């Protein structure tokens, strides 16, 4: 029978993800009131490095794939921009001896607001604000018979900055964009050292499994660099680099997941007319 502490923490996690779900749908439904929209869809591949001492003390490395969808919305004449990103990662990694294998996957949802400063006759735009990041994922060690998998879940508040520069080359418009996000504070799920998932979920033995985090306990460095090349009036080819270095040291356990991706996709700009009431 679960104790009161376990039930309270279970309810807390349910509230967190319900709120994240509500925020996502509110932001999506609010899109009809926006005017200028930039939507980008990209696929990428590149290296992944994984360490999770709950599963193994070994470092694993390999290749992964990423799907990234980005939507920016801004009303004409307004300084505030709404930014929403969906990121899905999947990777297969092996240890240094190439004898053990792990599977890693994660879904990250980013939503936030950025304030804009147009400069240099609108050629340069600087933005600053914050994102809320909700993440769910897993790491699965194919060689472990006891505790073969590790769940990943966290919610972070991330200060964010973006710089966008527009220029012409060979009579074609180009756009360079750089986005940097760093963690400030949040909460994450983690088993304690030596604790099994059977103890957590079957026996209800809570042991500091919902952990408050800061940029010290769970540092992260996420950066996105892209170049847009106009193909026709409202559509551009986008190529880029996505780097996300996530680390955590909680409950005497260490985890890091480093991803590097080369991306390619399309960007479309359009306007939405508000619905009549």
pLDDT of residue 6: 47
User: Tokens 């991306």 identify what position?
Assistant: 263
Question: For residue 256, which of 228, 217, 224 has the smallest C-alpha distance?
Answer: 217
Question: For residue 38, which of 78, 84, 79 has the smallest C-alpha distance?
Answer: 84
* CB atoms closer than 10 angstroms to residue 18: 10
pLDDT of residue 135: 96
pLDDT of residue 207: 84
Dihedral (CA of 67, 255, 17, 81) sign? negative
Q: How confident is the model at residue 149 (pLDDT cuts 50, 70, 90)?
A: very high
Overall average pLDDT of the 47-72 stretch: 96
Question: For residue 69, which of 84, 82, 81, 80 has the smallest C-alpha distance?
Answer: 84
pLDDT of residue 94: 97
| Residues 104, 135 contacting (CB under 8 angstroms) | no
Question: For residue 128, which of 158, 98, 105, 154 has the smallest C-alpha distance?
Answer: 158
CA separation for the pair 254, 248 (Å, rounded): 6
pLDDT of residue 198: 84
- For residue 42 the two structure tokens come to 């990209």
Dihedral (CA of 57, 61, 67, 69) sign? positive
pLDDT of residue 1: 45
Digit-coded pLDDT (tens) for 240-266: 999 999 999 999 999 999 999 999 999
CA separation for the pair 267, 234 (Å, rounded): 8
CA separation for the pair 31, 44 (Å, rounded): 27
Digit-coded pLDDT (tens) for 119-133: 999 999 999 999 999
Overall average pLDDT of the 87-109 stretch: 96
pLDDT of residue 29: 46
Digit-coded pLDDT (tens) for 64-75: 999 999 999 998
Phi, psi for 9 (deg, rounded to 5): -70, -35
Digit-coded pLDDT (tens) for 212-223: 999 999 999 999
Q: Is 14 helix (H, G, I), strand (E, B) or coil?
A: helix
Question: Any bridge partners for residue 45, and if so which?
Answer: 65, 262
For the chain, the average pLDDT equals 88
- Calculate what percentage of the chain has a pLDDT beyond 70: 86
CA separation for the pair 43, 209 (Å, rounded): 34
The gap from C-alpha 226 to its chain's centroid, in whole angstroms, comes to 16
Residues with Cβ < 8 Å from 82, sequence gap 6 or more? 27, 30, 34, 72, 73, 74, 111, 112, 113
| Residues 262, 44 contacting (CB under 8 angstroms) | yes
Tell me whether strands 220-232 and 149-169 are parallel, antiparallel or unpaired: unpaired
CA separation for the pair 145, 15 (Å, rounded): 33
């Amino acid at each position: 029978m679960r104790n009161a502490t376990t039930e309270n923490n279970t309810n807390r996690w349910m509230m967190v993800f319900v709120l994240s779900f509500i925020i996502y749908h509110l932001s999506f439904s609010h899109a009809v009131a926006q005017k200028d929209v930039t939507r980008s869809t990209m696929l990428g591949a590149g290296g992944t490095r994984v360490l999770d001492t709950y599963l193994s003390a070994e470092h694993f490395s390999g290749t992964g794939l990423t799907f990234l969808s980005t939507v920016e919305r801004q009303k004409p004449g307004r300084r505030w921009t709404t930014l929403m990103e969906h990121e899905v990662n999947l990777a297969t990694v092996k240890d240094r001896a190439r004898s053990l294998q792990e599977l890693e996957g994660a879904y990250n949802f980013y939503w936030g607001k950025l304030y804009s400063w147009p400069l240099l006759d609108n050629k340069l735009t600087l933005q600053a604000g914050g994102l809320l990041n909700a993440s769910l994922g897993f790491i699965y060690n194919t060689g472990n018979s006891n505790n073969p998998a590790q769940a990943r879940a966290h919610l972070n508040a991330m200060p964010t900055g973006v710089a966008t520069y527009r220029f012409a080359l060979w009579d074609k418009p180009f756009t360079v964009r750089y986005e940097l996000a760093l963690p400030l504070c949040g909460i994450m799920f983690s088993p304690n050292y030596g604790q099994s998932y059977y103890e957590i979920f079957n026996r209800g033995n809570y042991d500091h499994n919902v952990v408050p985090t800061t940029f010290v306990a769970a540092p992260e460095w996420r950066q996105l660099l892209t170049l847009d090349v106009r193909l026709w009036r409202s559509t551009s080819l986008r190529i880029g680099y996505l780097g996300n270095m996530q680390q955590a040291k909680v409950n005497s356990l260490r985890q890091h997941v480093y991803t590097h991706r080369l991306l390619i996709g399309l960007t479309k700009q359009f306007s939405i007319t508000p619905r009549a009431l």
